A and B are shown apart, each in its own frame.
Chain A
């Protein structure tokens, strides 16, 4: 339970999510990495070039770090959760807290994670559909509705000439590993409460 939350430290230097945009004339795709504190280009000028392309279809420029409250709040929330998790782990190690706290931390983290994804998805909906009415290119779907450009939360879609792929990035994978470890800790703790002390010690460590 001590080790698990520490995996979340990865979020401070590794991206949480990655969106790649490839097209025939972009054999080296453009890409953005979403970090908990802002959006960065995969290559140095990708953000500028994505904004340059998006202006044709009336999308706003990608938010700077200071443009979204999330980018200042997320680092604090993640930091709080790491501190809380380590504290719970330490107290669990000295038998002051039970495994139920481990599971409690996991559930709280999961709820926050889902809320984060929900928030992220809302932003993408807004970013991809709230378009400049004077956009250079106003395209319609086959059914006559205006075409929108929300990137996928997960997986691949074809958007005009671009193949857009959105997937969790190494920061998220580290978070998943960390969270799995805390879940495992909870499980082992639950088991040990019924069987042997060996398992209990490993649960606290994990």
Chain B
């Protein structure tokens, strides 16, 4: 059967080729589906630009990748939780503090869910937030510099998975724990999990002007696994919804033991109520230890501060703030439609999609339609909150986004497809295969009040034969569908980087005008930056040698340095004096036990070089900056540790 379908596919594509061949010679270009060429729809001619930005999480790469839609071209990889030798992120002295945690310096994390900042429920394009899953952290990335500006660690959390989703005015970025753990951490038997482990849902406020993050409160929930979450919007603004699994509270062989309950829950949290409770002095301040790392664009440096306390809230102390909505079969996706009325739970072991109604939920609360409680938290009656069930015909629904025209699109991991269905009637409208085993999907603005329902990107977990083979390990594949018509149309297929778990997208015009071209040298406040080559110098402070160096096409100032000794710690502080768009200079020195640094115009970056042998050692510019890039080089002379050689430096002597 499968083979037969495949043959038909070949036959059809052959016919499409024939037809498109005819059309080129003929005059009628608009007679039916076969004439609309997918190639035309994704083709962005040389020199033209894409209509949308797409930010795909890099999963275990720890980075965020920036793509264009509909071309699928990758523009940039933004380092967030992982060291990135390409730019020196996490290697340079300025950026190392960004990767500091309560566990010390961590060079990696697993980046999952990007979410673009919103105002009134619509994308505003100021920042994008992402979560580090392994060592719980939330990062904020500027959408004018496309650089990581801030990382905050989340205490009492483990497996920061139902994160980093924002409320509709970016009041909070929310981080829920996947693993429940002892809160506070302590030495105890694993088997005593049930009833003792807790799940922290963390609300991090975002300061509206600069975006600075602060943990406002943590709701300490029962020891379930909190999988994904989304904010209420419109009428449900003020609420936040979290899907859960392992309500069985198993600690071992979860694939079996966490799949026993017919229904798990979607936890509905009225954060406005908790916010009010906290403002009136509610909650308990408990000792904690977590890092808050902030990058300052004017000094081009990050600082790391350890915070020692966090405010926790026992949900049973805030009546009316938390309810549990029974949802079948270990729901993964927990998505809210643009109106805020429907909360969609994708039971990942089920064939059906469960849709709850916000109005029904309020009525059930009002009418006391409870079905018991869990650890003091009321469970609402399933039938009372249910709005409808989508009988999909697929298997393993994961994640739903919306086109703003009354349609929802859900990925099905097990049956490898995207299913389009109608809100309200719960009727399936269309289904298209994905290649293969799709995880999440993204429609630009699809998680906001105002989606841009033109393209859908499906991010797949399995690649197999989609591209030329590259050995056992392959990049994941993504597919772009045109969703502007009644039926979805697969128009492109492209490899991604790392493992995209989730993505966010927005119209190009939202970000393009604000994208920075250079950093202003006259606003550079780096303590070791220099504004003129005349200030270039070398200073010794015991065994530390600080080289204040400038670069401009195509030389270093200074480029000859003498008086450095074996055992010194040499700091190269490199300031790029260019003020021209896209003219970085790089810096690398032989034998440096670190990466290069790539210094943007007007920026200062520092690497440490520790010479171990006497000699005359070269350094050079690693970025092809000009026709004389190859001449952009210099020497540093290293004398014996006991030498009397005085420091000296020069250029052009």
Contact = CB atoms under 8 A, between A and B. Distances in A.
B552 interface: yes
B5 interface: no
A45 B580 contact: yes
Contact of B580 (A49, A136, A137): A49
B553 A136 contact: no
A35 B216 CA distance: 56
A191 B176 CA distance: 90
A52 B628 contact: no
A121 B552 CA distance: 31
A7 to B, nearest CB: 36
Contacts of B627: 56, 137
Interface residues on A, range: under 10
A136 B626 CA distance: 12
A48 interface: yes
Interface in A153-197: none
Contacts of A45: 518, 579-580
A52 B583 CA distance: 12
A49 B579 contact: yes
Interface string A31-58: 0000000000000110011001000100
Contact of B553 (A44, A52, A137): A52
A56 B628 CA distance: 9
Contacts of A137: 627
A129 to B, nearest CB: 22
Contacts of A28: 581
Interface residues on B, range: 10 to 19
Contacts of A136: 628
A18 to B, nearest CB: 20
Contacts of B581: 28
Contacts of A52: 552-553, 578, 580
A57 to B, nearest CB: 11
Main secondary structure of the interface of A (DSSP, over half): mixed
Interface string B601-640: 0000000000000000000000000111000000000000
Contacts of B580: 45, 48-49, 52
A132 to B, nearest CB: 13
A52 B577 CA distance: 11
Contacts of B628: 56, 136
A56 B631 CA distance: 13
Interface in B533-580: 552-553, 578-580
Contacts of A48: 579-580
B627 to A, nearest CB: 7
A48 B579 CA distance: 8
A44 B520 CA distance: 11
Contacts of B579: 44-45, 48-49
A137 B628 CA distance: 10
Contacts of B626: 56
B653 to A, nearest CB: 14
A136 to B, nearest CB: 6
A49 B517 CA distance: 14
Interface string A58-75: 000000000000000000
A200 to B, nearest CB: 55
Contacts of B518: 45
Nearest to A52: B553
A136 B554 CA distance: 11
Interface string A123-136: 00000000000001
Interface string B439-455: 00000000000000000
Contacts of A44: 579
Interface string B505-536: 00000000000001000000000000000000
Interface in B226-249: none
A45 B520 CA distance: 10
Q: Which of B552, B553, B580, B627 has the most CB of A within 10 A?
A: B580
A48 B553 CA distance: 12
Interface string B395-435: 00000000000000000000000000000000000000000
A27 to B, nearest CB: 9
Q: Which of A45, A49, A136, A137 has the most CB of B within 10 A?
A: A45
A38 B300 CA distance: 34
A131 B605 CA distance: 35
A49 to B, nearest CB: 5
Contacts of B578: 52
A48 B576 CA distance: 14
Contacts of B553: 52
A28 B580 CA distance: 11
A197 B580 CA distance: 61
B633 to A, nearest CB: 15
Nearest to B627: A56
A52 B518 CA distance: 16
A56 B627 CA distance: 9
A48 B581 CA distance: 12
A44 B581 CA distance: 12
A136 B555 CA distance: 12
A131 B149 CA distance: 46
B485 to A, nearest CB: 35
Nearest to A55: B553
A48 B580 CA distance: 9
B44 to A, nearest CB: 16
A99 B400 CA distance: 83
A44 B523 CA distance: 14
Nearest to A25: B582
Nearest to B553: A52
A137 B579 CA distance: 23
A91 to B, nearest CB: 51
A56 B555 CA distance: 12
A137 B627 CA distance: 10
B238 to A, nearest CB: 45
Interface of A: 28, 44-45, 48-49, 52, 56, 136-137
The 7 A-B residue pairs with the shortest CB-CB distance in the complex, in nearest-first order: A45-B579, A49-B580, A48-B579, A52-B553, A136-B628, A45-B580, A52-B552
11 contacts: A28-B581, A44-B579, A45-B580, A48-B579, A48-B580, A49-B580, A52-B552, A52-B578, A52-B580, A56-B626, A137-B627
Given A49-B580, A52-B553, A52-B578, 10 more contacts: A28-B581, A45-B518, A45-B579, A48-B579, A49-B579, A52-B552, A52-B580, A56-B628, A136-B628, A137-B627
